[in-house]
Amino acid sequence: MWLPLLVVLGLLFLYRWYRQSLILDNLRGKYVFITGCDTGFGNILAKNLDRRGMRVLAACLGETGAENLKKETSSRLQTVILNVTDSESVSSAAKWVSSIVGEQGLWGLVNNAGVSIPCSPNEWMTKADFAKVLDINLLGLVDVTLNLLPFIRKARGRVVNIASIAGRFTLTSGGYCLSKYGVESFSDTLRREMKPFGVKVCIIEPGFFNTQITNTQALKADLKRAWEKTTEEVRQSYGEEYYLQSLKCVDAVKLVCNNNLQLVPQAIEHALSAVHPWTRYSVGWDTKLIYLPLSYFPTFIIDFILTIAQPRPAQAK
Protein backbone atom coordinates (compact mmCIF):
# COMPACT_ATOMS: atom_id res chain seq x y z
CA MET A 1 0.00 0.00 0.00
CA TRP A 2 2.73 2.44 0.98
CA LEU A 3 5.24 1.36 -1.66
CA PRO A 4 3.59 3.14 -4.65
CA LEU A 5 3.30 6.34 -2.59
CA LEU A 6 6.97 6.17 -1.57
CA VAL A 7 7.98 5.59 -5.19
CA VAL A 8 5.98 8.62 -6.35
CA LEU A 9 7.47 10.79 -3.60
CA GLY A 10 10.96 9.57 -4.49
CA LEU A 11 10.44 10.42 -8.15
CA LEU A 12 9.12 13.87 -7.24
CA PHE A 13 12.17 14.61 -5.08
CA LEU A 14 14.45 13.30 -7.84
CA TYR A 15 12.78 15.54 -10.42
CA ARG A 16 12.94 18.47 -8.00
CA TRP A 17 16.67 17.91 -7.45
CA TYR A 18 17.35 17.56 -11.19
CA ARG A 19 15.39 20.72 -12.04
CA GLN A 20 17.28 22.80 -9.47
CA SER A 21 20.65 21.42 -10.62
CA LEU A 22 20.30 22.92 -14.09
CA ILE A 23 22.78 25.80 -14.39
CA LEU A 24 23.05 28.43 -17.11
CA ASP A 25 26.25 28.06 -19.14
CA ASN A 26 26.56 31.59 -20.56
CA LEU A 27 27.23 33.65 -17.43
CA ARG A 28 30.87 34.61 -18.06
CA GLY A 29 31.07 38.28 -18.86
CA LYS A 30 27.62 39.12 -17.48
CA TYR A 31 27.31 42.04 -15.07
CA VAL A 32 26.19 41.75 -11.45
CA PHE A 33 25.74 44.72 -9.11
CA ILE A 34 26.13 43.99 -5.38
CA THR A 35 25.54 46.38 -2.48
CA GLY A 36 27.31 46.17 0.87
CA CYS A 37 30.61 44.69 -0.37
CA ASP A 38 32.87 46.15 2.34
CA THR A 39 32.59 43.02 4.52
CA GLY A 40 30.48 39.93 5.12
CA PHE A 41 28.31 38.17 2.57
CA GLY A 42 28.64 40.88 -0.08
CA ASN A 43 32.42 40.83 0.10
CA ILE A 44 32.58 37.03 -0.18
CA LEU A 45 30.03 36.94 -3.01
CA ALA A 46 31.94 39.56 -5.02
CA LYS A 47 35.11 37.46 -4.82
CA ASN A 48 33.27 34.23 -5.70
CA LEU A 49 31.57 35.70 -8.77
CA ASP A 50 34.81 37.33 -9.89
CA ARG A 51 36.53 33.93 -9.81
CA ARG A 52 33.69 32.54 -11.97
CA GLY A 53 34.47 35.11 -14.65
CA MET A 54 31.47 37.38 -14.09
CA ARG A 55 31.84 41.16 -14.22
CA VAL A 56 31.17 42.33 -10.69
CA LEU A 57 30.11 45.89 -9.94
CA ALA A 58 30.73 46.09 -6.21
CA ALA A 59 29.17 48.91 -4.20
CA CYS A 60 30.99 49.76 -0.96
CA LEU A 61 30.15 52.30 1.71
CA GLY A 62 33.77 53.37 2.27
CA GLU A 63 36.96 53.82 0.27
CA THR A 64 38.88 51.40 2.50
CA GLY A 65 36.49 48.53 1.78
CA ALA A 66 36.61 49.25 -1.94
CA GLU A 67 40.40 49.35 -2.07
CA ASN A 68 40.79 46.14 -0.07
CA LEU A 69 38.34 44.35 -2.37
CA LYS A 70 40.20 45.49 -5.48
CA LYS A 71 43.45 44.09 -4.10
CA GLU A 72 41.91 40.62 -3.71
CA THR A 73 40.14 40.37 -7.08
CA SER A 74 40.82 40.60 -10.80
CA SER A 75 40.65 43.66 -13.03
CA ARG A 76 37.13 42.59 -14.07
CA LEU A 77 35.74 43.74 -10.73
CA GLN A 78 34.90 47.44 -10.47
CA THR A 79 33.85 49.33 -7.35
CA VAL A 80 31.69 52.35 -6.61
CA ILE A 81 31.05 54.21 -3.37
CA LEU A 82 27.37 53.98 -2.48
CA ASN A 83 25.26 55.16 0.44
CA VAL A 84 21.88 53.50 -0.08
CA THR A 85 20.17 56.06 2.19
CA ASP A 86 21.21 58.93 -0.10
CA SER A 87 19.06 59.15 -3.24
CA GLU A 88 21.69 61.25 -5.04
CA SER A 89 24.31 58.59 -4.33
CA VAL A 90 21.94 55.89 -5.61
CA SER A 91 21.13 57.88 -8.76
CA SER A 92 24.83 58.51 -9.40
CA ALA A 93 25.61 54.79 -9.01
CA ALA A 94 22.79 53.93 -11.45
CA LYS A 95 24.29 56.28 -14.06
CA TRP A 96 27.68 54.66 -13.49
CA VAL A 97 26.16 51.21 -14.03
CA SER A 98 24.41 52.39 -17.20
CA SER A 99 27.68 53.70 -18.66
CA ILE A 100 29.32 50.31 -18.08
CA VAL A 101 26.67 47.74 -19.02
CA GLY A 102 25.32 49.57 -22.07
CA GLU A 103 22.95 47.60 -24.27
CA GLN A 104 23.93 44.32 -22.57
CA GLY A 105 22.01 45.31 -19.47
CA LEU A 106 22.50 44.10 -15.92
CA TRP A 107 22.13 40.38 -15.32
CA GLY A 108 22.01 40.48 -11.54
CA LEU A 109 21.20 42.90 -8.73
CA VAL A 110 22.01 41.68 -5.22
CA ASN A 111 20.61 43.92 -2.48
CA ASN A 112 22.85 42.92 0.39
CA ALA A 113 23.53 46.14 2.36
CA GLY A 114 21.98 46.09 5.82
CA VAL A 115 22.36 46.82 9.53
CA SER A 116 20.83 45.40 12.71
CA ILE A 117 21.24 48.28 15.16
CA PRO A 118 19.72 50.26 16.80
CA CYS A 119 18.14 47.16 18.32
CA SER A 120 16.92 47.45 21.91
CA PRO A 121 13.60 47.00 23.74
CA ASN A 122 11.02 49.08 21.87
CA GLU A 123 10.28 51.42 24.77
CA TRP A 124 13.95 52.34 25.06
CA MET A 125 14.10 53.52 21.45
CA THR A 126 12.97 56.55 19.45
CA LYS A 127 11.35 56.97 16.06
CA ALA A 128 14.76 57.98 14.69
CA ASP A 129 16.22 54.65 15.87
CA PHE A 130 13.62 52.75 13.86
CA ALA A 131 14.03 55.05 10.86
CA LYS A 132 17.80 54.47 10.71
CA VAL A 133 17.39 50.73 10.19
CA LEU A 134 14.39 51.00 7.86
CA ASP A 135 16.18 53.59 5.73
CA ILE A 136 19.07 51.22 5.03
CA ASN A 137 17.48 47.78 5.03
CA LEU A 138 14.19 48.58 3.28
CA LEU A 139 13.92 52.04 1.72
CA GLY A 140 17.52 51.94 0.49
CA LEU A 141 16.90 48.52 -1.06
CA VAL A 142 13.76 49.85 -2.78
CA ASP A 143 15.59 52.92 -4.08
CA VAL A 144 18.47 50.90 -5.54
CA THR A 145 16.08 48.40 -7.13
CA LEU A 146 13.88 51.05 -8.77
CA ASN A 147 16.93 52.83 -10.21
CA LEU A 148 18.48 49.66 -11.65
CA LEU A 149 15.34 47.82 -12.73
CA PRO A 150 15.41 49.11 -16.36
CA PHE A 151 18.86 47.54 -16.84
CA ILE A 152 17.66 44.27 -15.27
CA ARG A 153 14.65 44.16 -17.62
CA LYS A 154 16.93 44.76 -20.60
CA ALA A 155 18.98 41.66 -19.70
CA ARG A 156 15.97 39.64 -18.48
CA GLY A 157 18.05 39.12 -15.38
CA ARG A 158 17.69 38.47 -11.68
CA VAL A 159 16.97 40.49 -8.54
CA VAL A 160 18.19 38.85 -5.33
CA ASN A 161 17.10 40.51 -2.08
CA ILE A 162 18.72 39.57 1.21
CA ALA A 163 15.94 39.33 3.76
CA SER A 164 16.25 37.15 6.88
CA ILE A 165 14.41 34.47 8.74
CA ALA A 166 13.53 37.48 10.91
CA GLY A 167 11.26 38.48 8.02
CA ARG A 168 9.20 35.34 8.58
CA PHE A 169 9.62 34.95 12.35
CA THR A 170 9.93 38.00 14.62
CA LEU A 171 12.86 37.51 16.98
CA THR A 172 13.95 40.97 18.10
CA SER A 173 12.63 44.42 18.92
CA GLY A 174 13.55 47.50 16.92
CA GLY A 175 13.54 48.10 13.19
CA TYR A 176 15.42 45.02 11.96
CA CYS A 177 12.49 42.58 11.78
CA LEU A 178 10.20 45.35 10.52
CA SER A 179 12.61 46.01 7.66
CA LYS A 180 12.97 42.34 6.74
CA TYR A 181 9.19 41.79 6.68
CA GLY A 182 9.10 44.77 4.33
CA VAL A 183 11.78 43.23 2.09
CA GLU A 184 9.70 40.06 1.85
CA SER A 185 6.60 42.04 0.87
CA PHE A 186 8.39 44.22 -1.68
CA SER A 187 10.07 41.16 -3.22
CA ASP A 188 6.76 39.31 -3.56
CA THR A 189 5.04 42.16 -5.43
CA LEU A 190 8.12 42.79 -7.57
CA ARG A 191 8.33 39.11 -8.52
CA ARG A 192 4.76 39.13 -9.82
CA GLU A 193 5.22 42.36 -11.73
CA MET A 194 8.51 41.29 -13.33
CA LYS A 195 7.43 37.80 -14.39
CA PRO A 196 6.02 38.97 -17.78
CA PHE A 197 9.42 40.54 -18.55
CA GLY A 198 11.30 37.31 -17.87
CA VAL A 199 12.92 38.77 -14.74
CA LYS A 200 13.19 36.47 -11.70
CA VAL A 201 13.13 37.80 -8.13
CA CYS A 202 14.58 35.67 -5.33
CA ILE A 203 14.66 36.12 -1.56
CA ILE A 204 17.51 34.91 0.66
CA GLU A 205 16.53 34.18 4.28
CA PRO A 206 19.65 33.56 6.40
CA GLY A 207 19.49 32.51 10.01
CA PHE A 208 22.12 33.60 12.56
CA PHE A 209 25.58 33.94 11.03
CA ASN A 210 28.77 35.32 12.55
CA THR A 211 28.82 38.69 10.73
CA GLN A 212 28.63 42.39 11.61
CA ILE A 213 24.86 41.96 11.96
CA THR A 214 25.41 39.76 15.01
CA ASN A 215 28.44 41.60 16.42
CA THR A 216 27.84 41.24 20.16
CA GLN A 217 30.09 44.15 21.14
CA ALA A 218 28.16 46.50 18.88
CA LEU A 219 24.83 45.12 20.10
CA LYS A 220 25.81 45.59 23.74
CA ALA A 221 27.07 49.11 23.09
CA ASP A 222 23.74 49.94 21.44
CA LEU A 223 21.84 48.45 24.39
CA LYS A 224 23.89 50.59 26.79
CA ARG A 225 23.24 53.71 24.70
CA ALA A 226 19.49 53.09 24.66
CA TRP A 227 19.40 52.37 28.42
CA GLU A 228 21.28 55.55 29.30
CA LYS A 229 19.24 57.76 26.95
CA THR A 230 15.80 56.61 28.07
CA THR A 231 13.87 58.34 30.86
CA GLU A 232 14.34 57.78 34.56
CA GLU A 233 10.75 56.50 34.81
CA VAL A 234 11.43 53.81 32.17
CA ARG A 235 14.67 52.76 33.91
CA GLN A 236 12.83 52.37 37.22
CA SER A 237 10.07 50.37 35.54
CA TYR A 238 12.50 47.87 34.03
CA GLY A 239 15.18 47.94 36.69
CA GLU A 240 18.97 47.63 36.60
CA GLU A 241 18.77 43.85 36.79
CA TYR A 242 16.68 43.72 33.60
CA TYR A 243 19.37 45.71 31.79
CA LEU A 244 22.21 43.49 33.07
CA GLN A 245 20.34 40.31 32.15
CA SER A 246 19.70 41.72 28.69
CA LEU A 247 23.44 42.16 28.21
CA LYS A 248 23.92 38.49 29.09
CA CYS A 249 21.27 37.53 26.52
CA VAL A 250 23.28 39.38 23.86
CA ASP A 251 26.35 37.30 24.75
CA ALA A 252 24.30 34.18 24.04
CA VAL A 253 23.82 35.24 20.40
CA LYS A 254 27.31 33.99 19.48
CA LEU A 255 26.42 30.51 20.74
CA VAL A 256 23.88 30.02 17.93
CA CYS A 257 25.78 31.76 15.12
CA ASN A 258 26.91 29.76 12.09
CA ASN A 259 30.56 30.36 11.18
CA ASN A 260 30.27 28.96 7.65
CA LEU A 261 29.76 32.30 5.90
CA GLN A 262 30.01 30.69 2.44
CA LEU A 263 26.50 29.23 2.77
CA VAL A 264 24.73 32.50 2.04
CA PRO A 265 26.90 33.53 -0.96
CA GLN A 266 26.44 30.01 -2.36
CA ALA A 267 22.66 30.41 -2.15
CA ILE A 268 22.91 33.79 -3.91
CA GLU A 269 25.11 32.26 -6.62
CA HIS A 270 22.47 29.60 -7.24
CA ALA A 271 19.79 32.28 -7.48
CA LEU A 272 21.88 34.09 -10.10
CA SER A 273 22.97 31.07 -12.11
CA ALA A 274 20.23 28.40 -11.91
CA VAL A 275 17.88 27.89 -14.82
CA HIS A 276 15.05 27.53 -12.30
CA PRO A 277 16.05 29.42 -9.12
CA TRP A 278 14.09 29.06 -5.91
CA THR A 279 11.73 31.86 -4.91
CA ARG A 280 13.07 31.65 -1.35
CA TYR A 281 16.33 30.28 0.03
CA SER A 282 16.27 29.45 3.74
CA VAL A 283 19.95 29.30 4.70
CA GLY A 284 21.42 27.75 7.85
CA TRP A 285 20.52 24.77 10.03
CA ASP A 286 18.75 27.00 12.57
CA THR A 287 16.48 28.43 9.89
CA LYS A 288 15.51 25.06 8.44
CA LEU A 289 15.16 23.09 11.67
CA ILE A 290 13.99 25.68 14.20
CA TYR A 291 12.78 29.10 13.07
CA LEU A 292 10.96 28.21 9.86
CA PRO A 293 8.97 25.34 11.45
CA LEU A 294 8.22 27.53 14.50
CA SER A 295 6.84 30.28 12.26
CA TYR A 296 3.86 28.00 11.52
CA PHE A 297 3.06 27.42 15.21
CA PRO A 298 0.14 29.24 16.91
CA THR A 299 1.12 32.66 18.23
CA PHE A 300 0.60 31.80 21.90
CA ILE A 301 3.11 28.94 21.63
CA ILE A 302 5.72 31.15 19.96
CA ASP A 303 5.20 33.87 22.59
CA PHE A 304 5.65 31.31 25.36
CA ILE A 305 8.87 29.92 23.88
CA LEU A 306 10.42 33.34 23.24
CA THR A 307 9.63 34.69 26.70
CA ILE A 308 10.85 31.73 28.79
CA ALA A 309 14.36 33.16 29.21
CA GLN A 310 13.35 36.82 28.90
CA PRO A 311 14.42 39.05 31.85
CA ARG A 312 11.59 40.16 34.14
CA PRO A 313 11.07 43.91 34.62
CA ALA A 314 11.28 45.29 38.15
CA GLN A 315 7.69 46.54 38.11
CA ALA A 316 6.18 43.49 36.38
CA LYS A 317 2.94 42.16 37.88
- Residue-wise pLDDT for 91-103, tens only, equals 999 999 999 999 9
CATH number listed for the domain at residues 25-222+258-302: 3.40.50.720
pLDDT, residue 123, reads 93
What's the whole-number average pLDDT of the chain?
92
Supply φ then ψ for residue 307, to 5 degrees. Answer: -105, 0
Q: How far apart are CA 6 and CA 170, in angstroms?
A: 36
State the number of CA atoms in the 13 A half-sphere of 157 facing the CB: 27
Q: Could you tell me the pLDDT band of residue 1, with boundaries at 50, 70 and 90?
A: low
Query: Among residues 15, 18, 31, 176, which one is catalytic?
Result: 176
5 pLDDT above the threshold of 80: no
310 pLDDT above the threshold of 90: no
18 pLDDT above the threshold of 80: no
Percent of the chain residues topping a pLDDT of 90: 72
Q: Tell me the C-alpha to C-alpha distance, in Å, between residue 40 and each of 37, 61, 202, 263.
A: 7, 13, 20, 12
3-state helix, strand, coil in the chain (%, to 5): 60, 10, 30
176 belongs to the catalytic site: yes
pLDDT, residue 253, reads 80
142 pLDDT above the threshold of 70: yes
202 pLDDT above the threshold of 70: yes
pLDDT, residue 107, reads 97
Q: How far apart are CA 141 and CA 134, in angstroms?
A: 10
| Domain assignments of the chain as residue spans, ordered by start | 25-222+258-302
pLDDT, residue 10, reads 81
Q: What is the pTM of this model?
A: 0.91
